[in-house]
Structure 1
Amino acid sequence: MDQLQVQTGNERLKRLMLSLAKPEKWKATEELAAASLRAYAADERLARVDTVIIIGHGTSLATAMNAEFLFSRAAGAAARAVPAYQFRSYARDYLKRPERTLVVGISCSGNTESVVKGLEAARQAGALAMGITGRGETKMREISDYLIEADTAVEQEAGMTAYSASHLFLLYSALRAAVLLGEKRGNAKGLKYWEAQWKSVKNAMSALPELFEKMGGLAEEYSQEEMHNVVALGTGPNLGTAQEGALKICEFAWVFGACEELEDFAHGRFREADGKIPLLLLAPHENLQEKVLDLLAGCEIARTPTVIFTQKALPEVQKLADRVILMPAVEEECLTPFLYVFPLWFLGYHFRSRQGKLVGERRFGLKATDISYQAYLSRRQT
């Protein structure tokens, strides 16, 4: 691939990510989700659901981790995100009351083997199965009681090798599914409330171009100081955001990015803090800043660089952190993942593009479905 092709590919990805700052970019997924859900609006089986298990892998697992809190708050259900392979392998350990359980499988392609087999195991046990995926004929469509669509073809149509926008499109469809389930369960906060909250989040995305430039400056600074590994820390609704951000930094930039829970990082992994691995802390609301201060105090001693992403920083946080990046205000913390993933995506983008290399390029030419023993044997035999 020549330099012009690299630049063209990187510019295409940049435009896609920044296009989400425009409310109209969300219209296709909003319409797909609404149309999908209308088919199930009268299904009374949903009223008996009090437990939701969300499964996926890679970016879709991160989406599931975010969606756990959507189903908890918007649906009022006991929700849990589980890696799809783990769920399919130990389904009976998770499905103690299948008649009251909804298993939600998330997959961009709709054909991820472990997600499909997990949904099959759920139905065989007597649970309801919901697929959240893109349009078209897929294996998930064949075996799901409910199929909720999202506009997941945007990267493929643009010739990209790593997902970004489709993660948030799937998460939006999960939000709408959670709201429908909440209405069936008699949850007090209905569709109008969540639509107003969602409109507020979309409006807040107007800040994305400015945030993109800020993260470009940070990537430049870290590159000059040879800081090429990062740790993303989050908790609650944004543990999944940290997971997706760390994953995307790896995929975009071939940089090692790790995800850790905000408190748990101090219990062992902090020993890796050596002044060359910056910590990216996702702490949208003030209720998390007590723990942020604990970590900042440790980082001050360890001379570890820190960046805090928050919508309002305490004076003590402003004093101790190397950099505080103020994010737009979002009332519902479970919706902050729609915004807080962007700076991590942008950082990974800048790490790679400033080297003149293709953002999201596959390493070793492998994608997830290529990592297969049987495929390896076939290649060896030929």
Structure 2
Amino acid sequence: MTSRLEHEIGEQPEVAARLLDRMLPLVGDLRDHLTSRGAEQVLLVARGSSDNAARYAQYLWPARAGVTVTLATPSLTTVYGRQPEVSRQAVVAVSQSGRSPDVVAVVEQARAAGRPTLAVTNDPSSPLAEAAEVVVDLGAGPERSVAATKTYTASLLAVAVLAGVWTDDPSDPDQLHRVPEALGESVTRASGVEEAADLVAGADRGVSVGRGLNLCTAHETALKITELTGALVAPFSPADLMHGPVAAVGPSVPALLVTPGEAATASVLEAVPELRRRGAPVVLLGGPTLDDVHRVGLPSTADLAGWLTPLTSVVLGQLVAWRAAERRGVDVDRPGDLSKVTLTR
């Protein structure tokens, strides 16, 4: 019997195609809104998997268009009663459910201050959608499995399309239109998943490593494995890993390295010799083939421009997490007695 999780992983290409059809024609209107009222910078607010999508925007939008992006700290609003300074900023919230009270509170205060606000959500009738002036509906359909998959890649794709608000690169639509096919190839033709899942399933802790545009992928892969398997996987950049936490890595602690064809990958691969010296099982998510290193690979038909690689790289992490959880006997649709929506304040 197919799990909801497996079904939703398989829906990702179709979700992406629908989102592009709806969203690309709106880029001009979104540009007018997000750059109105003297907005020169962007404040991003999110939680959970959506926070990982926001990490992508934190790298992508400055890299592609030079716009300054910061991540909000919602507890300043909900715990300490301090409103962030947003006088020069547009505020973009990413929340799949649209029901996190702290995310909603930041948007409400920004809108009350007269700032441009935009919500990226899978529920256009949610409190977040009501709080924001403009809504981008992910249109992914109901996501019933606890682990977010199709709503996460849809959020990444929305972030990628929004990069067009601040840049007029004529190649962007052509590259974006390749995403649904690449996702389909990633879901159905990834190699090495079962071997990597064996390594992960046998461990109770691990690390996930990525940098730059794919730091979000390291965080999201760690989250997926942790919530689905119950094994604690911690995300790091390679520099942060080497500044102390690498001491916890060894033969029983696998390391998953996010290594697509993207500029930041070279520095991630620099961690491999030290990880191997410590006896850690190393898994590359994409990238080159190395001796004594397991690789989860994508077919060449899934190749994307470097700035879009988080969309396909994270599918590899999803597949490994799903298969590892099944090996551990987990009900992947209801892992760890978790709820689908967490209401943080």
Per the normalisation by structure 1, the TM-score is 0.79
Q: CA deviation at 1:121?
A: 2.4
Q: Tell me, what secondary structure is at the counterpart of 2:177? A: helix
Report the equivalent of 2:6. Answer: 14
Does 1 or 2 have the higher relative contact order (CA < 8 Å, sep 6+)? 2
Q: CA deviation at 1:271?
A: 0.8
Q: 1:70 to 1:77 in 2, by over 3 A?
A: same
Contact residue 57 and residue 83 of structure 1 kept, 8 A: no
- For residues 32 and 68 of structure 2, the distance between their equivalents in structure 1, rounded to whole angstroms, comes to 22
Contact residue 234 and residue 282 of structure 1 kept, 8 A: yes
- For residues 81 and 305 of structure 2, the distance between their equivalents in structure 1, rounded to whole angstroms, comes to 32
Amino acid at match of 1:140: L
Counterpart of 2:174 (choices 187, 193, 196) is: 196
Q: CA deviation at 1:234?
A: 0.7
Counterpart of 1:359 (choices 326, 332, 336) is: 332
Report the equivalent of 2:152. Answer: 167
Q: Tell me, what secondary structure is at the counterpart of 1:80? A: strand
Report the equivalent of 1:377. Answer: none
Q: CA deviation at 1:165?
A: 0.5
Matched positions, count: 342
Amino acid at match of 1:26: A
Q: 1:174 to 1:299 in 2, by over 3 A?
A: closer
| CA-based RMSD | 2.9
Q: Tell me, what secondary structure is at the counterpart of 1:358? A: coil
Counterpart of 1:278 (choices 241, 250, 254) is: 254
Counterpart of 2:241 (choices 243, 265, 271) is: 265
Report the equivalent of 1:324. Answer: 295
Report the equivalent of 2:232. Answer: 256
Q: CA deviation at 1:363?
A: 2.5
Q: CA deviation at 1:166?
A: 0.6
Q: 1:222 to 1:167 in 2, by over 3 A?
A: closer
Q: 1:84 to 1:345 in 2, by over 3 A?
A: farther
Report the equivalent of 1:336. Answer: 309
- For residues 232 and 140 of structure 1, the distance between their equivalents in structure 2, rounded to whole angstroms, comes to 31
Report the equivalent of 2:44. Answer: 54
Structural mapping, 1:368-379, within 5 Å: 369=342
Q: Tell me, what secondary structure is at the counterpart of 1:232? A: strand
- For residues 113 and 80 of structure 2, the distance between their equivalents in structure 1, rounded to whole angstroms, comes to 12
Q: Tell me, what secondary structure is at the counterpart of 2:135? A: strand
Q: 1:143 to 1:77 in 2, by over 3 A?
A: same
Consecutive unaligned residues of structure 2, counting only runs of 5 or more, are: none
Q: Tell me, what secondary structure is at the counterpart of 1:154? A: coil
Q: CA deviation at 1:302?
A: 0.8
- For residues 319 and 236 of structure 2, the distance between their equivalents in structure 1, rounded to whole angstroms, comes to 19
Measured against aligned partners, the alpha-carbon deviations of 1:121-141 in whole angstroms (never above 9, x if no partner) come to 223444322111124322222
Contact residue 260 and residue 309 of structure 2 kept, 8 A: yes
Contact residue 228 and residue 256 of structure 1 kept, 8 A: yes
Per the normalisation by structure 2, the TM-score is 0.87
Report the equivalent of 2:68. Answer: 78
Q: CA deviation at 1:17?
A: 1.0
Q: 1:79 to 1:199 in 2, by over 3 A?
A: same
Measured against aligned partners, the alpha-carbon deviations of 1:290-336 in whole angstroms (never above 9, x if no partner) come to 4334312212221111112343x3xxx724x5223443464532211
- For residues 177 and 294 of structure 1, the distance between their equivalents in structure 2, rounded to whole angstroms, comes to 32
1:292 aligns with 2:268: yes
The percent identity for this pair of structures is 21
Measured against aligned partners, the alpha-carbon deviations of 1:103-138 in whole angstroms (never above 9, x if no partner) come to 111111112101100112223444322111124322
Q: 1:90 to 1:171 in 2, by over 3 A?
A: farther
Amino acid at match of 1:145: E
Q: 1:130 to 1:47 in 2, by over 3 A?
A: same
Amino acid at match of 2:8: L
- For residues 371 and 110 of structure 1, the distance between their equivalents in structure 2, rounded to whole angstroms, comes to 12
